[in-house]
């Protein structure tokens, strides 16, 4: 299962860091302005009138008090300083939390994905924000992929999927990892905290698929039920199918090479996931044990326009629908948190 707008997309999903940083910066400016109005800086100091007053001019306003205020004005200005530092500290915390809201704490210091890992030049998968069930069945369900926007609100689920909260809730839980090749031969069990702290790093471009462990799909539904019950799947279903969730977290540059299975949806909670898709009758050229990153670097550049897949980068909060038996490969451009709903 591939882990995972209108052609011009909105950047960064809900709670983007640019918007958060702007609001904190604006608050700082308002704070400075209000403090400046309450405690204006004095005019230039007058020359000393005698030897006993020959204090350095730079310190004059502290010795003399704040002009324009009553005798207690100097004390008031000094007493305001702790409040100023408290306000600045609070705003710094808000600035940090706004960044964590944007990536859930999953973006760690150090190198990110390899430079070659970028978004596609042109998204060739349709984005829809106003899709009815009837149109979904008629236009997409059995014929082509589509990206859904704004049909569900998973803000609560997103809050529960921050790095800090998942480690607090499931750090001791044993998770099953699969090798990131087409057939996922090898399985490895280890504590979730160990996977996050020691193995969730950018993909080495020369690594083979059977050397790369990937957390996706083999979830203990009883153990993770407290998380999954807060997820709202896309509102569309197919007659005769039953939905099943697969939850995953993977490092930048990781992904699953080309494979196919039944239909389903894949939503990005944090990060970005680039998808490559071919219809069932058009088998892609790939090696089942080479990573998607290696395929993108070695095979993709030589493809003619007619041989290229449908492709698009799914942003946080977006959902990709893939029809039955469509070939697809995925590539995480950031450390990504995602969940798929398979219709089996």
Neighbour tally for 141: CB within 10 Å:
20
Q: pLDDT tens-digit profile of 162-195?
A: 999 999 999 999 999 987 656 656 788 999 999 9
Of 243 and 202, which is predicted with more confidence?
A: 243
Q: In Å, what is the CA distance from 72 to each residue of 12, 37, 58, 75?
A: 50, 17, 20, 5
Quick one: 122 exposed, middle or buried, by C-beta within 10 A (0-12, 13-18, 19+)? exposed
Closest CA to 12 of 112, 117, 119, 160: 119
Q: Are 211 and 291 in contact (CB under 8 A)?
A: no
Neighbour tally for 138: CB within 10 Å:
11
Neighbour tally for 58: CB within 10 Å:
8
pLDDT at 342 over 90: yes
Q: What is the largest CA-CA distance in the chain?
A: 97
Closest CA to 2 of 336, 328, 335, 343: 328
Of 96 and 234, which is predicted with more confidence?
A: 234
State mean pLDDT over 90-103: 55
Pairwise CA distance, residues 33 & 36, whole Å: 5
pLDDT at 99 over 70: no
- The pLDDT score that the predictor gives to residue 213 is 81
Q: CB within 8 A of 182, min separation 6: which ones?
A: 209, 256, 257, 258, 259, 286, 288, 289
- The pLDDT score that the predictor gives to residue 89 is 53
pLDDT at 281 over 50: yes
State mean pLDDT over 90-115: 61
CATH code of the region 127-343: 2.60.120.650
- The pLDDT score that the predictor gives to residue 237 is 93
What the block records as the tokens of 20 is 């958060």
Instruction: Return the HEC string of 233-296.
Output: CCCCCCCCCCEEEEEEEECCCCCCCCECCCCEEEEEEECEEEEEEECCCCCCCCCCCECHHHHH
Strand duo 327-332 + 272-278: pairing? antiparallel
pTM of the model: 0.70
Pairwise CA distance, residues 159 & 235, whole Å: 21
Q: In the chain, what are the domain boundaries?
A: 17-103, 127-343
**173-178: which pairs have CB atoms within 8 A and are 24 or more residues apart?**
173/220, 173/223, 173/224, 174/220, 175/215, 175/218, 175/219, 175/220, 176/218, 177/213, 177/214, 177/215, 177/218, 178/213, 178/214, 178/216, 178/217, 178/218
Q: pLDDT tens-digit profile of 192-239?
A: 999 999 988 887 766 765 567 888 876 777 889 999 999 999 999 999
Closest CA to 335 of 75, 110, 150: 110
Pairwise CA distance, residues 314 & 253, whole Å: 15
Q: Are 39 and 122 in contact (CB under 8 A)?
A: no
């Amino acid at each position: 299962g591939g882990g995972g707008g209108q052609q011009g997309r909105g950047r960064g999903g809900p709670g983007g860091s640019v918007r958060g940083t702007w609001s904190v910066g604006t608050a700082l400016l308002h704070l400075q302005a209000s403090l400046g109005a309450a405690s204006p800086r004095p005019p230039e100091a007058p020359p000393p009138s005698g030897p006993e007053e020959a204090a350095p001019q730079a310190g004059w306003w502290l010795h003399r008090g704040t002009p324009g205020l009553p005798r207690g004005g100097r004390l008031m200005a000094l007493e305001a300083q702790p409040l100023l530092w408290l306000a600045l500290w609070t705003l710094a915390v808000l600035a940090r939390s706004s960044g964590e809201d944007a990536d859930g704490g999953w973006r760690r210091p150090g190198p990110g994905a390899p430079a070659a890992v970028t978004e596609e030049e042109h998204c060739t998968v349709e984005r829809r924000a106003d899709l009815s069930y009837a149109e979904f069945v008629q236009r997409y369900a059995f014929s082509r992929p589509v990206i859904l926007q704004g049909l569900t609100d998973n803000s609560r689920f997103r809050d529960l999927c921050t790095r800090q909260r998942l480690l607090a809730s499931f750090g001791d839980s044993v998770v099953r990892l699969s090798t990131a090749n087409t057939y996922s031969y090898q399985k490895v069990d280890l504590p979730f905290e160990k996977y996050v702290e020691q193995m969730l790093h950018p993909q080495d471009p020369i690594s083979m698929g059977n050397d790369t462990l990937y957390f996706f799909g083999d979830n203990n539904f009883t153990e993770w039920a407290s998380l999954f019950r807060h997820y709202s799947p896309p509102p569309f279903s197919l007659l005769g199918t039953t939905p099943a969730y697969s939850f995953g977290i993977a490092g930048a540059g990781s992904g699953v090479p080309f494979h196919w299975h039944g239909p389903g949806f894949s939503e990005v909670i944090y990060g970005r996931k680039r998808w490559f898709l071919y219809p069932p009758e058009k088998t892609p050229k790939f090696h089942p044990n080479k990573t998607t990153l290696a395929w993108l670097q070695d095979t993709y550049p030589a493809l003619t326009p007619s041989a290229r897949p449908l492709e698009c980068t799914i942003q946080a909060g977006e959902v990709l629908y893939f029809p039955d038996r469509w070939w697809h490969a995925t590539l995480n451009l950031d450390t990504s948190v995602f969940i798929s709903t398979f219709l089996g």
